[in-house]
Amino acid sequence: MTTAGTGHEQQHRHLLEVLVAAAAPRCQNLAELLGYLPGAYPAEAADVLSSLASRHLIDELTSRRLQASGVPPAQLATPPRQANAPGIELPDPHPLDFDWRWTAQTATGLVTRCTGTTGPGDTIALLGTPTLLPLAVDAPHRRHWLLLEASTATTSVLAARWPEHVQRCDLATGQLPHLSARVVVADPPWYPEHTRAFLWAAAHLSIPGATILLAQPALATRPGILDERAGLLAYAHGIGLELAAICPSTLAYTCPPFEQRALAATGLSASVPSDWRRGDLIELRRTTAPPGPRPRQPSHERWDEITAGRARIRFRLDTEEPGQHGADPRLIPLVPGDILGSVSRRNPIRAHVRVWTAGNRVFGCAAPALLKMIAASIAAGTPADRPAQADTGRPLHADELVKIRAAAAQLRDLIQAEHRDSARDRLDIAVLPTKTATVLCG
């Protein structure tokens, strides 16, 4: 994030305090309170609540009522499902993709919005919005839908069924197709550099008069959102996209498994509804102005993924000195229980993470490239020390072998834990329902 200086942090905290102090006495539980805090992270809301209570700015009864974590059985319900077509199961989202998927209700509302704004034969571009494709593509309204998405795991599942409607593409740097889209739906990772890249792609792919539907963080998601948004709208204007409407908190997201685990690590999973996260829908209109040059991207972290069954494990490869033969590839614990409490880019632990799973387990490691090779051997069912031996070009020393075998044992345990969690996530877990705010304006 670029804008969260101390001033923004303080303003944000103050805003949350005011909102919580005003709403808490009317609320029966934390879930209800979250409905008054546009997009605020539940752990942050709970912290503000405790702080207000400790200063006697909230009465004790209210504080006890809202901090109680259990949810009465009468209020339990099936969670809002992520939008999925029959027979299509997208891979578990990975935190490094910033992959927050819409609820079925929000996704259906967006598809309806797209078809309502277009006619037969028109093109609709979906940028980083894989949830929409299965709902849109088989419907009998004769639009041409094209999903542009960077995740290989996601695009390979969708392209297996609809190859002509899916293109794997990094929207920040990849080659864009020639399209004349009348509507573009874009949900970039919620950071300015990603949003600028997606906006530029939207301008490049659309025709004058086209509608761009851009998902953005709701206003209390983190410090500085309004300033960030002002910068983005100014950028959009410069590339031929004029603001038409802003619909606050209309987009509802399902809580991905990695976030459920982060909430569980902070003791909040039982009191937070699985569709707590909200986004704002920003509607822009394409003018005749040319988009100009593509925005330059800041240098990015480099992560490689190894999949073993349903387990998705990423290894950070841009931090290691080359030729570190003999370095220790074992996983280094970073946080209690190995689950990251917040995946926010503001979390300082992120700088030390070298291994990160879809289940939100994080570790340090002195030799992540070597560990990745070991993981690849495990996934392929070959001996774990073979790639290290090939890489060094000599027999391994006894102490190197000991470390490699220990690292392989750690990885096998990790893969098992990820499989266990993924299987559990597929069961219907009862959670508290919320008032879903998915009437899309426009």
Q: Which is nearer to ligand SAM, 190 or 315 (CB)?
A: 190
- Kindly state whether residue 172 participates in binding ligand SAM, applying the rule CB under 6 A: yes
- Kindly state whether residue 159 participates in binding ligand SAM, applying the rule CB under 6 A: no
* 3 state DSSP class of 50: helix
Residue 402: which residues within 8 A CB-CB, separation 6 or more? none
Residue-wise DSSP of 140-179: TT--EEEEEE--HHHHHHHHHH-GGGEEE--TTTSPPP--
Residue type, 82: Q
- Kindly state whether residue 259 participates in binding ligand SAM, applying the rule CB under 6 A: no
Which of 44, 92, 122, 149 lies at the binding interface for ligand SAM (CB under 6 A)?
A: 149
In the bound complex, what is the minimum distance in angstroms from residue 300's beta carbon to ligand SAM?
9
Q: Which is nearer to ligand SAM, 105 or 410 (CB)?
A: 105
In the block, tokens 């299509």 appear at 88
Q: Determine the Cα–Cα distance for residues 30 and 41; give it in Å rounded to an integer.
A: 12
| Helix extents (H) in 189-348 | 192-205, 225-238, 257-265
Site string for ligand SAM, 208-247 (x = CB under 6 A): ----------------------------------------
Q: Which is nearer to ligand SAM, 29 or 216 (CB)?
A: 216
Q: Determine the Cα–Cα distance for residues 352 and 138; give it in Å rounded to an integer.
A: 44
Which H helix or E strand runs over 61?
A: helix 60-67
In the bound complex, what is the minimum distance in angstroms from residue 151's beta carbon to ligand SAM?
4
Structure tokens at 197: 């890249």
- Kindly state whether residue 193 participates in binding ligand SAM, applying the rule CB under 6 A: no
Q: Determine the Cα–Cα distance for residues 256 and 345; give it in Å rounded to an integer.
A: 17
In the bound complex, what is the minimum distance in angstroms from residue 144's beta carbon to ligand SAM?
18
In the bound complex, what is the minimum distance in angstroms from residue 82's beta carbon to ligand SAM?
7
Structure tokens at 306: 């190894």
In the bound complex, what is the minimum distance in angstroms from residue 216's beta carbon to ligand SAM?
10
Q: Which is nearer to ligand SAM, 168 or 386 (CB)?
A: 168
Instruction: Count the residues of the shown chain that bind ligand SAM, applying the rule CB under 6 A.
Output: 21
Site string for ligand SAM, 87-116 (x = CB under 6 A): ----------xxxxxx--------------
In the block, tokens 């020393």 appear at 397
Eight-class DSSP state of 300:
-
In the bound complex, what is the minimum distance in angstroms from residue 123's beta carbon to ligand SAM?
18
Calculate the alpha carbon distances from 205 to 13, 179, 188, 244, 291 in Å.
39, 5, 15, 19, 10
- Cβ-closest position to ligand SAM: 128
- Kindly state whether residue 130 participates in binding ligand SAM, applying the rule CB under 6 A: yes
Are 339 and 262 contacting, i.e. CB atoms less than 8 angstroms apart? yes
Structure tokens at 330: 């074992």
- Kindly state whether residue 191 participates in binding ligand SAM, applying the rule CB under 6 A: no
- Kindly state whether residue 151 participates in binding ligand SAM, applying the rule CB under 6 A: yes
Burial of 9 (0-12, 13-18, 19+ CB in 10 A): middle
Which of 79, 80, 95, 128 lies at the binding interface for ligand SAM (CB under 6 A)?
A: 128
Q: Determine the Cα–Cα distance for residues 389 and 384; give it in Å rounded to an integer.
A: 10
Q: Which is nearer to ligand SAM, 52 or 100 (CB)?
A: 100
Which of 123, 129, 271, 438 lies at the binding interface for ligand SAM (CB under 6 A)?
A: 129
Q: Interface with ligand SAM by CB under 6 A: which residues?
A: 97-102, 128-132, 149-151, 154, 170-172, 187, 189, 194
